[in-house]
Amino acid sequence: MEVLEGLGEETMQAILWQMSTQGVSCAPDTFDLHIFAVGMRDLFGHGAESILEEIYQNIVCRLETFEQTLSYNGFGNVGGGSTDCMSTSALQKIQSIIGITDGQRGRKQ
């Protein structure tokens, strides 16, 4: 929500309300990333890619456990390991990050 809040609090509330009218829940226990991305694309079109990319950058910056596997590209944005960031969508990058996090937690357990 930090990325949406960066647009402005009233704007964030308006976007979340529009999403809720489409059945998209932002509550932590019922949140579905894919449905959220679809809802954003419905509202913003291809512009949703920029917002999802910001969310991805926000998540990566918060995950300290990925420092060794991440590299920085020429524009100062965090990359996803050896994967070329430009060829994958923001949603796929977010899903891959969440997948890596879950896998690491499984190994630790």
Partner 1 sequence: MIVNLTRTETSNSLSPDHVRKELRMMLLASIGTMNLFVLLVAESQRAIISHWLVLVCAAAVVAVSVVIMYRQKFKGLYGRTYGAIAIGLLLWFSAEVVSACEQYLITNSLTAARGPIASGSANFQPSMADAIWLAGYGFFAYFLFRIMIHYSKSIKPQMLILIAAATAISALVLAQSIAYYYNLYGPSSSSGASAVISEKTISLFLKIEYPILDLLLIVPALVILSGVKDGRLTSTPWLLLSAAVLILAVGDIGNIYLSVLGVAQNHWMWNMLATAGYLCIATSLFWYNRFFIFDVKRTVRIWQESNR
Contact residues: partner 1, CB under 8 A: 5-18, 20-23, 41-50, 53, 90
Tokens of 53: 């990319």
For 96, half-sphere exposure in the C-beta direction (CA atoms, 13 angstrom radius) is 19
For partner 1, which is the closer residue by CB, 66 or 90? 90
Q: Which amino acid is at 43?
A: L
In the complex with partner 1, the residue whose CB is nearer, 65 or 89, is 89
Taking the complex as a whole, the smallest distance from the CB of residue 80 to partner 1 amounts, in Å, to 15
Please report how close the Cβ of residue 105 comes to partner 1 at its closest, in angstroms: 29
Tell me the two tokens of residue 15: 């976007």
**Residue 10 CB, nearest distance to partner 1 (Å)?**
5
Rounded Cα gap, residues 92 and 102, in angstroms? 15
